[in-house]
Amino acid sequence: MLKEVTATRYVTPLREGGSLPGLVEADDLGLYVMKFTGAGQGRKTLVAEVVCGELARRLGLRVPRLVTLGLDPVLGLGEPEQQVQDLLRASAGTNLGMDFLSGALGFDPLAFPVDSAEAGRIVWFDALINNVDRSWRNPNLLVHRGELWLIDHGATMIWHHNWPGAAASAARPYDASDHALARCAPDVAGAAAALAPLVTEELLAEVTAEIPDVWLADEPGFETPDDLRRAYARPLLDRAPLVHERVTGIGTETSGREGTGTEASGREGTGTGASGREGTRTHTRTGTQEGK
Ligand SMILES: Nc1ncnc2c1ncn2[C@@H]1O[C@H](COP(=O)(O)OP(=O)(O)O)[C@@H](O)[C@H]1O
Ligand SMILES: [Mg+2]
Protein backbone atom coordinates (compact mmCIF):
# COMPACT_ATOMS: atom_id res chain seq x y z
CA MET A 1 0.00 0.00 0.00
CA LEU A 2 1.21 3.47 -0.81
CA LYS A 3 1.39 5.72 2.23
CA GLU A 4 -1.79 7.80 2.60
CA VAL A 5 -1.55 11.47 3.45
CA THR A 6 -3.95 14.39 3.18
CA ALA A 7 -3.25 17.69 1.43
CA THR A 8 -3.38 20.64 3.80
CA ARG A 9 -2.15 23.53 1.66
CA TYR A 10 -1.94 24.20 -2.04
CA VAL A 11 1.38 25.98 -2.56
CA THR A 12 1.80 26.63 -6.27
CA PRO A 13 1.18 25.13 -9.71
CA LEU A 14 4.13 23.52 -11.54
CA ARG A 15 3.73 24.86 -15.01
CA GLU A 16 6.23 23.01 -17.11
CA GLY A 17 4.13 20.08 -18.19
CA GLY A 18 0.68 19.91 -19.66
CA SER A 19 -1.22 18.48 -16.73
CA LEU A 20 -0.75 21.31 -14.21
CA PRO A 21 0.52 19.29 -11.27
CA GLY A 22 0.63 21.29 -8.06
CA LEU A 23 3.05 21.59 -5.20
CA VAL A 24 1.20 20.87 -1.96
CA GLU A 25 1.93 20.46 1.70
CA ALA A 26 0.38 17.49 3.51
CA ASP A 27 -0.60 16.56 7.04
CA ASP A 28 2.71 14.76 7.56
CA LEU A 29 4.38 18.14 6.85
CA GLY A 30 5.89 16.74 3.64
CA LEU A 31 5.99 18.65 0.36
CA TYR A 32 4.56 16.74 -2.57
CA VAL A 33 4.05 17.14 -6.28
CA MET A 34 0.34 16.42 -6.62
CA LYS A 35 -1.16 14.86 -9.74
CA PHE A 36 -4.90 15.28 -9.99
CA THR A 37 -7.61 12.78 -10.86
CA GLY A 38 -9.50 15.68 -12.44
CA ALA A 39 -6.73 16.52 -14.94
CA GLY A 40 -6.69 15.58 -18.64
CA GLN A 41 -6.73 11.82 -18.96
CA GLY A 42 -7.79 11.52 -15.34
CA ARG A 43 -7.22 8.46 -13.27
CA LYS A 44 -5.55 6.34 -15.99
CA THR A 45 -2.64 8.73 -15.96
CA LEU A 46 -2.33 8.19 -12.23
CA VAL A 47 -2.55 4.41 -12.59
CA ALA A 48 0.28 4.59 -15.11
CA GLU A 49 2.34 6.68 -12.68
CA VAL A 50 1.89 4.06 -9.97
CA VAL A 51 2.50 0.97 -12.12
CA CYS A 52 5.55 2.38 -13.90
CA GLY A 53 6.95 4.27 -10.93
CA GLU A 54 6.71 1.32 -8.58
CA LEU A 55 8.07 -1.06 -11.21
CA ALA A 56 11.01 1.25 -11.96
CA ARG A 57 11.83 1.50 -8.27
CA ARG A 58 11.88 -2.29 -7.93
CA LEU A 59 14.20 -2.50 -10.93
CA GLY A 60 16.66 -0.21 -9.19
CA LEU A 61 15.85 3.02 -11.03
CA ARG A 62 15.41 6.22 -9.02
CA VAL A 63 11.81 7.45 -8.76
CA PRO A 64 10.52 9.84 -6.09
CA ARG A 65 8.47 8.06 -3.44
CA LEU A 66 4.77 7.90 -4.29
CA VAL A 67 1.88 8.43 -1.87
CA THR A 68 -1.86 8.83 -2.16
CA LEU A 69 -2.96 12.35 -1.38
CA GLY A 70 -6.46 12.93 -0.08
CA LEU A 71 -7.98 16.19 -1.25
CA ASP A 72 -10.81 18.18 0.22
CA PRO A 73 -11.79 20.53 -2.62
CA VAL A 74 -12.41 23.26 -0.05
CA LEU A 75 -8.65 23.73 -0.33
CA GLY A 76 -9.14 25.37 -3.71
CA LEU A 77 -11.71 27.96 -2.68
CA GLY A 78 -9.16 30.66 -2.02
CA GLU A 79 -7.18 30.04 -5.19
CA PRO A 80 -7.14 33.14 -7.38
CA GLU A 81 -6.76 31.21 -10.63
CA GLN A 82 -9.92 29.74 -12.11
CA GLN A 83 -7.99 26.91 -13.78
CA VAL A 84 -6.53 25.80 -10.44
CA GLN A 85 -9.88 26.11 -8.68
CA ASP A 86 -11.56 23.99 -11.34
CA LEU A 87 -8.85 21.33 -11.12
CA LEU A 88 -9.10 21.10 -7.34
CA ARG A 89 -12.88 20.99 -7.47
CA ALA A 90 -12.79 18.15 -10.02
CA SER A 91 -10.31 16.13 -7.95
CA ALA A 92 -12.00 15.50 -4.61
CA GLY A 93 -10.84 12.29 -2.96
CA THR A 94 -7.75 10.23 -3.75
CA ASN A 95 -5.01 11.79 -5.87
CA LEU A 96 -1.36 10.95 -6.42
CA GLY A 97 1.52 12.57 -4.60
CA MET A 98 5.22 12.26 -5.17
CA ASP A 99 8.08 13.44 -2.98
CA PHE A 100 9.16 16.88 -4.10
CA LEU A 101 12.86 16.82 -4.93
CA SER A 102 13.81 20.23 -3.67
CA GLY A 103 16.37 22.02 -5.81
CA ALA A 104 16.35 19.37 -8.55
CA LEU A 105 17.36 20.50 -12.03
CA GLY A 106 15.80 19.48 -15.31
CA PHE A 107 18.14 17.06 -17.11
CA ASP A 108 20.44 18.66 -19.67
CA PRO A 109 22.45 16.10 -21.66
CA LEU A 110 25.23 18.63 -22.24
CA ALA A 111 25.65 19.36 -18.55
CA PHE A 112 25.10 15.88 -17.12
CA PRO A 113 26.81 12.92 -18.77
CA VAL A 114 25.03 9.57 -18.43
CA ASP A 115 27.01 6.36 -18.92
CA SER A 116 25.83 3.71 -21.34
CA ALA A 117 24.83 1.27 -18.60
CA GLU A 118 22.45 3.71 -16.91
CA ALA A 119 21.19 5.06 -20.24
CA GLY A 120 20.58 1.46 -21.31
CA ARG A 121 18.52 0.69 -18.23
CA ILE A 122 16.35 3.76 -18.70
CA VAL A 123 15.82 3.25 -22.45
CA TRP A 124 15.04 -0.44 -21.90
CA PHE A 125 12.55 0.44 -19.17
CA ASP A 126 10.91 3.09 -21.35
CA ALA A 127 10.63 0.56 -24.17
CA LEU A 128 9.01 -1.91 -21.77
CA ILE A 129 6.36 0.58 -20.65
CA ASN A 130 6.16 2.21 -24.08
CA ASN A 131 6.95 5.65 -22.68
CA VAL A 132 6.36 8.32 -25.33
CA ASP A 133 7.24 11.14 -22.97
CA ARG A 134 11.02 11.04 -22.42
CA SER A 135 12.23 12.86 -25.50
CA TRP A 136 15.22 15.17 -25.69
CA ARG A 137 12.77 18.08 -25.87
CA ASN A 138 10.94 16.97 -22.76
CA PRO A 139 13.13 14.50 -20.86
CA ASN A 140 11.08 14.09 -17.67
CA LEU A 141 14.36 13.36 -15.93
CA LEU A 142 15.59 15.36 -12.96
CA VAL A 143 19.09 15.70 -11.59
CA HIS A 144 19.03 15.74 -7.81
CA ARG A 145 22.15 15.64 -5.65
CA GLY A 146 24.22 14.46 -8.59
CA GLU A 147 21.91 11.61 -9.56
CA LEU A 148 19.32 11.04 -12.25
CA TRP A 149 15.67 10.62 -11.21
CA LEU A 150 12.75 9.50 -13.35
CA ILE A 151 9.45 11.40 -13.26
CA ASP A 152 6.23 11.61 -15.24
CA HIS A 153 5.07 8.17 -16.33
CA GLY A 154 1.56 9.28 -17.23
CA ALA A 155 1.92 8.80 -21.01
CA THR A 156 2.88 5.13 -21.02
CA MET A 157 1.23 1.75 -21.57
CA ILE A 158 -0.85 2.96 -24.52
CA TRP A 159 -2.64 -0.38 -24.37
CA HIS A 160 -4.58 0.55 -21.24
CA HIS A 161 -6.66 2.95 -23.31
CA ASN A 162 -8.03 0.07 -25.37
CA TRP A 163 -8.01 -3.23 -23.49
CA PRO A 164 -9.51 -5.38 -26.29
CA GLY A 165 -6.53 -4.45 -28.49
CA ALA A 166 -3.96 -4.61 -25.70
CA ALA A 167 -2.10 -7.72 -26.84
CA ALA A 168 -1.60 -6.41 -30.38
CA SER A 169 -0.61 -2.97 -29.17
CA ALA A 170 1.87 -4.41 -26.67
CA ALA A 171 3.60 -6.37 -29.44
CA ARG A 172 4.60 -3.16 -31.22
CA PRO A 173 8.22 -1.98 -31.42
CA TYR A 174 9.59 1.08 -29.60
CA ASP A 175 11.17 3.93 -31.52
CA ALA A 176 13.84 5.47 -29.29
CA SER A 177 15.25 7.92 -31.86
CA ASP A 178 13.82 10.92 -29.97
CA HIS A 179 14.66 9.54 -26.55
CA ALA A 180 16.48 11.92 -24.20
CA LEU A 181 19.28 9.36 -23.77
CA ALA A 182 19.47 8.06 -27.35
CA ARG A 183 22.87 9.71 -27.75
CA CYS A 184 24.38 8.28 -24.59
CA ALA A 185 25.20 4.97 -26.30
CA PRO A 186 22.54 3.14 -24.26
CA ASP A 187 23.46 -0.49 -23.62
CA VAL A 188 19.95 -1.82 -24.07
CA ALA A 189 21.01 -5.46 -24.49
CA GLY A 190 23.01 -5.34 -21.25
CA ALA A 191 20.06 -3.76 -19.44
CA ALA A 192 17.70 -6.40 -20.81
CA ALA A 193 19.95 -9.21 -19.60
CA ALA A 194 19.98 -7.75 -16.09
CA LEU A 195 16.43 -6.46 -15.77
CA ALA A 196 14.11 -8.61 -17.90
CA PRO A 197 14.44 -11.67 -15.62
CA LEU A 198 13.30 -9.52 -12.68
CA VAL A 199 9.95 -8.73 -14.32
CA THR A 200 8.00 -11.70 -13.02
CA GLU A 201 4.36 -12.34 -12.27
CA GLU A 202 5.11 -12.04 -8.55
CA LEU A 203 6.83 -8.70 -8.95
CA LEU A 204 4.00 -7.31 -11.07
CA ALA A 205 1.42 -8.56 -8.59
CA GLU A 206 3.27 -6.60 -5.92
CA VAL A 207 3.46 -3.53 -8.16
CA THR A 208 -0.17 -3.55 -9.26
CA ALA A 209 -1.33 -4.13 -5.68
CA GLU A 210 -0.16 -0.55 -5.06
CA ILE A 211 -2.86 0.90 -7.35
CA PRO A 212 -5.70 2.28 -5.23
CA ASP A 213 -8.96 0.39 -5.87
CA VAL A 214 -10.87 3.62 -6.54
CA TRP A 215 -8.84 4.20 -9.73
CA LEU A 216 -9.66 0.72 -11.00
CA ALA A 217 -13.39 0.56 -10.31
CA ASP A 218 -15.96 0.39 -13.12
CA GLU A 219 -13.57 -0.25 -16.00
CA PRO A 220 -15.68 -1.71 -18.83
CA GLY A 221 -14.96 -5.42 -19.33
CA PHE A 222 -13.59 -6.02 -15.82
CA GLU A 223 -15.52 -7.38 -12.87
CA THR A 224 -13.12 -6.52 -10.10
CA PRO A 225 -10.12 -4.27 -9.51
CA ASP A 226 -7.93 -7.39 -9.25
CA ASP A 227 -8.99 -8.51 -12.74
CA LEU A 228 -7.82 -5.17 -14.03
CA ARG A 229 -4.57 -5.44 -12.05
CA ARG A 230 -3.84 -8.71 -13.86
CA ALA A 231 -4.57 -7.01 -17.19
CA TYR A 232 -1.97 -4.37 -16.35
CA ALA A 233 0.60 -7.07 -15.60
CA ARG A 234 0.07 -9.11 -18.79
CA PRO A 235 1.53 -6.83 -21.50
CA LEU A 236 4.55 -6.04 -19.32
CA LEU A 237 5.19 -9.74 -18.72
CA ASP A 238 4.88 -10.42 -22.44
CA ARG A 239 7.11 -7.53 -23.45
CA ALA A 240 9.91 -7.96 -20.93
CA PRO A 241 11.78 -10.90 -22.54
CA LEU A 242 11.86 -9.47 -26.08
CA VAL A 243 11.35 -5.76 -26.12
CA HIS A 244 15.10 -5.04 -26.39
CA GLU A 245 15.05 -6.61 -29.86
CA ARG A 246 12.31 -4.22 -30.86
CA VAL A 247 13.97 -0.96 -29.90
CA THR A 248 14.74 1.11 -32.98
CA GLY A 249 16.50 4.44 -33.44
CA ILE A 250 19.55 4.14 -31.20
CA GLY A 251 21.99 2.64 -33.69
CA THR A 252 24.96 4.69 -34.84
CA GLU A 253 23.31 5.23 -38.19
CA THR A 254 20.44 7.18 -36.69
CA SER A 255 20.41 10.52 -34.97
CA GLY A 256 17.16 11.44 -33.33
CA ARG A 257 17.44 15.19 -33.47
CA GLU A 258 17.67 15.31 -37.22
CA GLY A 259 14.86 12.79 -37.48
CA THR A 260 16.01 10.14 -39.89
CA GLY A 261 12.57 8.79 -40.49
CA THR A 262 12.58 5.78 -38.21
CA GLU A 263 8.92 6.12 -37.47
CA ALA A 264 8.13 2.81 -35.86
CA SER A 265 4.53 2.25 -35.00
CA GLY A 266 5.28 1.94 -31.30
CA ARG A 267 4.84 5.66 -30.96
CA GLU A 268 1.19 5.82 -31.84
CA GLY A 269 0.61 6.80 -28.23
CA THR A 270 1.59 10.43 -28.73
CA GLY A 271 -2.06 11.26 -29.11
CA THR A 272 -3.02 10.09 -25.65
CA GLY A 273 -2.19 13.03 -23.53
CA ALA A 274 1.45 13.51 -24.29
CA SER A 275 0.72 15.90 -27.11
CA GLY A 276 1.42 19.52 -26.57
CA ARG A 277 3.63 18.83 -23.58
CA GLU A 278 6.92 19.30 -25.23
CA GLY A 279 8.65 22.51 -24.35
CA THR A 280 12.10 23.83 -24.94
CA ARG A 281 13.10 23.91 -21.30
CA THR A 282 16.52 22.71 -20.37
CA HIS A 283 18.28 22.89 -17.07
CA THR A 284 15.73 24.94 -15.22
CA ARG A 285 15.29 24.84 -11.50
CA THR A 286 12.12 23.04 -10.55
CA GLY A 287 9.51 23.98 -8.06
CA THR A 288 9.06 27.50 -9.26
CA GLN A 289 6.47 28.93 -11.55
CA GLU A 290 7.95 28.99 -14.98
CA GLY A 291 5.17 31.15 -16.28
CA LYS A 292 4.53 29.01 -19.32
N1 LIG B 1 9.14 14.98 -7.73
C2 LIG B 1 9.46 16.17 -8.26
N3 LIG B 1 10.38 16.96 -7.66
C4 LIG B 1 10.69 18.18 -8.17
N5 LIG B 1 10.13 18.69 -9.28
C6 LIG B 1 9.21 17.94 -9.94
C7 LIG B 1 8.84 16.65 -9.46
N8 LIG B 1 7.90 16.14 -10.28
C9 LIG B 1 7.68 17.07 -11.22
N10 LIG B 1 8.48 18.16 -11.02
C11 LIG B 1 8.53 19.37 -11.86
O12 LIG B 1 7.24 19.62 -12.37
C13 LIG B 1 7.23 19.54 -13.80
C14 LIG B 1 5.96 18.88 -14.27
O15 LIG B 1 5.83 17.59 -13.72
P16 LIG B 1 5.51 16.33 -14.63
O17 LIG B 1 5.41 15.15 -13.76
O18 LIG B 1 6.50 16.25 -15.74
O19 LIG B 1 4.05 16.70 -15.13
P20 LIG B 1 3.39 16.89 -16.58
O21 LIG B 1 2.52 15.70 -16.75
O22 LIG B 1 2.60 18.14 -16.44
O23 LIG B 1 4.48 16.97 -17.59
C24 LIG B 1 8.48 18.74 -14.13
O25 LIG B 1 8.99 19.04 -15.40
C26 LIG B 1 9.44 19.17 -13.04
O27 LIG B 1 10.04 20.42 -13.36
MG1 LIG C 1 6.31 16.11 -17.77
Give the Å distance between the CA of 224 and the centre of ligand 2.
31
Ligand 1 atom 26 nearest Cα: 286
pLDDT of res. 268? 36
pLDDT of res. 5? 98
pLDDT of res. 78? 86
Question: Are 227 and 218 contacting, i.e. CB atoms less than 8 angstroms apart?
Answer: no
Give the Å distance between the CA of 100 and the centre of ligand 1.
9
- Ligand 1 site residues (CB inside 6 A) read 14, 16-19, 21, 33, 64, 98-101, 104, 106, 140, 142, 151-152, 154, 277, 286-287
Environment class of 69 (CB within 10 Å of its CB; exposed 0-12, middle 13-18, buried 19+): buried
Ligand 1 atom 5 nearest Cα: 286
Give 291's contacts (C-beta < 8 A, 6+ positions apart). Answer: 15
d(CA 65, CA 97): 8
d(CA 7, CA 18): 22
The neighbouring-strand residues paired with 10 are: 24
Give the Å distance between the CA of 17 and the centre of ligand 1.
7
pLDDT of res. 276? 34
pLDDT of res. 53? 98
The atom number, within ligand 1, closest to the CA of 138 reads 25
pLDDT of res. 254? 40
Mutational pocket test of ligand 1: of 20, 46, 142, 149, the residue with most ligand atoms within 8 Å of the beta carbon: 142
Give the Å distance between the CA of 41 and the centre of ligand 2.
14
Consecutive sets of 10 residues in the chain, 292 residues long: mean pLDDT of each? 96 83 97 95 94 98 98 90 92 98 95 97 98 95 98 97 95 96 97 98 98 97 98 98 96 44 36 34 37 30
Give the Å distance between the CA of 105 and the centre of ligand 1.
10
d(CA 239, CA 164): 17
Mutational pocket test of ligand 1: of 62, 286, 289, the residue with most ligand atoms within 8 Å of the beta carbon: 286
Q: Which ligand is nearest to the CA of 65?
A: 1
Ligand 1 atom 13 nearest Cα: 16
Q: Which ligand is nearest to the CA of 152?
A: 1
Query: CA dist 144 to 12, 20, 178, 239, Å?
Result: 20, 22, 23, 30
The 10 Å Cβ neighbour count of residue 13 is 18
Dihedral-angle region of residue 177 (phi above 0 means left; psi in -120 to 50 means alpha; beta otherwise): alpha
Q: What is the model's pTM?
A: 0.88
pLDDT of res. 77? 85
